[in-house]
Each structure stands twice: as structure tokens, then as C-alpha cells.
A and B are shown apart, each in its own frame.
Chain A
Amino acid sequence: MADFDIDLMSCPLPKMDYDTIQLAHGAGGKLSADLIDKIFIPRFGNETLDKLEDQAVLNIPKNKIAFTTDTFVVDPIFFPGGNIGELAINGTVNDVAMSGAKPLYLSVGFILEEGLPLETLHIIALSMEKAAKQAGVKIVAGDTKVVNRGSCDKLFINTSGIGIVPNNVNISANRLTPGDKIIISGSVADHGMAVMTTREDLSFKSKIKSDTAALNGLVEVMLNISEDIHAMRDPTRGGVATTLNEFAKQSDVGIQLYSDKIPVKHDVKGACEVLGIDPLYVANEGKLIAVVGSEIAENMVEAMLKHELGKNASIIGEVVNDNKGIVVQQTGLGVNRIIDLPVGEQLPRIC
């Protein structure tokens, strides 16, 4: 459990009857109440959650609503730059925000493995609190289940999120139009390589940091430049290549990437070279790809560069009429190679 935020350690685990999760923590009795009162409410509490009703009753303006759900099973649960808790908050905030919506409310469902140290759960709850605060969202509903040892791996988290979509915003993967520019908010492959290089069997000694972050602040900056963002996604599993392939297919257009324009950090690139992995296929957890009309692309990038999470933003390609449904990248030699969908996950290779 190395590498977590020192702030998280300053809040000690409240005194509890047990040091580890028991099946009874999920059984609805005294231990369940203990868990809610001592760990979850102090961390996530707000006027809605504190009522401890079976549901959250929310006042929502008469807008379009963005609603999403995602489940987090990352192994290891602590990795350089983050942990499963903040990943669960940021991931769902980002999924809501990619519609242009302002994320407001989250639900959190825990599946805990019997025997999980309460200290671990506490640290994860603390970092979720911090992530929710940073993103400006409230956790308004929650659930905890405990399963027998071996029935899950330490803990899984499901988060759902609701956000309000501004009236004039219509962001969709089927709105790509030839001539549009493709913008990425920063360097790729950080999260996937952070997780991979912690794997003991791969002999890495240094730490690549995950980029896990909530992108709604950056999205707000972008919408201030123009509400007419055509498409936007956070390239998580399958990486940039997968997101762009989805875009190309859904809009039935071609995507042309420029050569050598996609930012990759030196250490991330080093790890990718050693394992024979293409960074375009590796997961990100704090980056977005936006597709916008060419007339606003430069202004958009300029605004993004001023935001902490967009400081390495750049235009990486454009939407074209040729090669419908296909993503191609220009190589240094000036010819195109196809960036295909990956077949399964990226594996370290020797060949």
C-alpha cells in the first residue's frame, strides 16, 4: 500500500470492534451500522446521505440529465498516483462530464471481501472524499455488501453519477464531421503503465504515476470557449486507439492522425518500449479527446493549456472523408498506417 497521499494518513481510523471486514458488516445489523456511522458518513456525509433513507431524493433543474455507471475492479487497489477509490469517483465524474454535463451526484456501491483490513477501507474512503470534493460532487446514495473470502478480490466499487447538461450542448460520437480537429488533453498511457509496472512479475523498480483525475473542471473551461464540441470521450480501457475507432465507426468518417504528435512521457515511453506495448492502446484515467470544428480548435487548445489538466493539450489529427470507419496515422516517413482496434488486452511481449 505504498505511495498514497500523506494527508490521508492524518485522519486516524475510528475505533471499531474489529480490524477487518466481517460478513456481519454487510448483514444489516450492528456492524453494518458501525461501518456506515464510523467510516462512510464521516467521509461522504451531506444533507441527503445523512438522512440514511433507502434512496436519495434530489432537486434537479428542468434540463437534460446525463446518467452513467461504472464498476472498478483494478488490481492492485493501490497504485502509484492513486487508488481504486479515487479512480471510482474520477471515472464516473469523467463519464458524466464527457457529455458536457456538470456532474452533481454520485452513488457508491462497495463489494468487500471478508477479511479486508478496515484501515484499507478507511484510507480508500478518505481518498474518495477528497476526490469528490475536488470534483465538486456529492455522494448521495450508497450500499455495502460483504462476500466470502475469495469471492471477490479485496474490494470492488460501483459508482453511478448524474449531471446536468447545459441547454445548447450536444456532444455525441456520431457528430464527427470531415474537417474537424481532434484534440487530446495531455500525455497518453500513464494509468495503464502505472498499473502494469507495479506487477511484481515484470521486475520494474521505478514508479510511473497514474493520471487519475476528474476532468469536469477542464470541460467547463472548454465549454466556455465554445459549447459546440462535437464529440468527447475519456480514452480509458483500450486507450486512444479504441476511442478514435469508436468515433470513426459511429460517425462513419475517417480519422487521420498526424505523425509524432501524440504526447507520451519519457518514462512511460521507456516502459512501453521495454514491454513492446503501443501507448496508443493503453488506458488513461485523466485525459480526454475532444473533436471540434477547425475554426475553434486553436482557441480551444489555448484555453486548455492554461488548465492544470490540459497543460499538454495538442491537436493530434483531423476528421477526413477517406477511409470511412478507419483510423490512420501518418508515420515519420509520410505514409499511413492503420490504428486498428486492439484484439484483447495489451500484453508484454518479447517478440
Chain B
Amino acid sequence: MCLGIPGKVEEIFDENGLKMGNINYGGTINKACLEYVPEIEVGQYTVVHAGFGISIIDEDEAMKSYEAWEELADHAAQEGADLYGNPLEEVKDK
């Protein structure tokens, strides 16, 4: 359940007394309510579920998770094997 997609806040405005924002998803702009991410600023990313920002993306954590894996995968690719010495091709074929 609970489809939530990260989008970038392009604009913040008030609508009927609620903090709202225009959120950019790969070039498509959709409106979302930002009442639950009150400290968010233009340029930050939020996970949006059913028209509500539910969480500000922690860019440092995102970077850390991704980079750690990428480094391992790159290293393995250069060596032609994964971390544990299995040839990469074998993994691919499973």
C-alpha cells in the first residue's frame, strides 16, 4: 500500500490557510499539501502520498546509502567479481 513518490518542491504557497506546494516529479508538476513537513523549503525533496508531503528526504542519508552500495558494486565490476569473489556474470545469469 501507500504509494509515496519523491518530488522536488518548486514553490510554496497558501491555499485556504494550508501550506501547499507545487512538486516536480521528472517535469510533471502536481500540487501537494505541506502541512506535515512544515519546515520544508523550496528545492528540497519530499515523499508525497495521496497529495500530502509525509517526509522530507534526508539527502545525506540517501547519498550515504547509495554511495556505499555503488562503491562496492563498482569495485566488484572492476575486479570482474563481486565482493566474495563470485564472477559477476554468474550472478547476472541466475
Contacts and interface: CB of A to CB of B under 8 A. Distances in A.
Contact flag (A, B; Cβ within 8 A): yes
Nearest to B33: A203
A203 B30 contact: yes
A263 to B, nearest CB: 14
Contact of A270 (B22, B26, B93, B94): B26
Nearest to A269: B26
Interface stretch (A89-97, A140-148, A271-279): A271-279
A312 B25 CA distance: 22
B91 to A, nearest CB: 9
Contacts, number: 58
Interface residues of B, number: 22
Interface in B1-55: 1-3, 5, 7, 22, 24-32, 48-51
A265 B27 CA distance: 9
A88 B92 CA distance: 47
Contacts of B3: 276, 349-351
Which 6 interchain pairs have the tightest Cβ spacing? A270-B26, A267-B27, A270-B25, A270-B28, A206-B29, A351-B1
B42 to A, nearest CB: 15
Given A271-B28, A273-B5, 20 more contacts: A197-B28, A202-B30, A203-B32, A203-B51, A204-B30, A205-B22, A206-B28, A208-B28, A267-B26, A268-B28, A270-B7, A270-B26, A270-B27, A271-B25, A274-B5, A274-B7, A274-B25, A274-B30, A276-B3, A350-B49
Interface of A: 197, 202-206, 208, 265-271, 273-274, 276, 334, 349-351
A271 B26 CA distance: 8
Contacts of B28: 197, 204, 206, 208, 267-268, 270-271, 274
A203 to B, nearest CB: 4
B2 A350 contact: yes
Contacts of A265: 27
Nearest to A268: B28
A266 B94 CA distance: 31
Interface of B: 1-3, 5, 7, 22, 24-32, 48-51, 92-94
A331 to B, nearest CB: 12
B27 to A, nearest CB: 3
Contacts of B29: 204-206
Contacts of A203: 30-32, 51
* Chain B contact residues: helix, strand, loop or mixed: strand
9 contacts: A203-B31, A204-B31, A205-B29, A205-B31, A206-B29, A265-B27, A273-B25, A274-B48, A350-B49
Nearest to A334: B92
A84 to B, nearest CB: 23
A350 B1 contact: yes
A197 B25 CA distance: 13
A279 to B, nearest CB: 12
Given A203-B31, A274-B30, A350 B25 contact: no
A277 B6 CA distance: 16
A265 B25 CA distance: 12
B94 to A, nearest CB: 7
A269 B24 CA distance: 12
Contact of B26 (A197, A205, A266): A266
B30 A266 contact: no
A208 B27 CA distance: 9
Nearest to B94: A334
Given A276-B3, A334-B92, A334-B93, A206 B27 contact: yes
Contacts of B31: 203-205
A267 B32 CA distance: 17
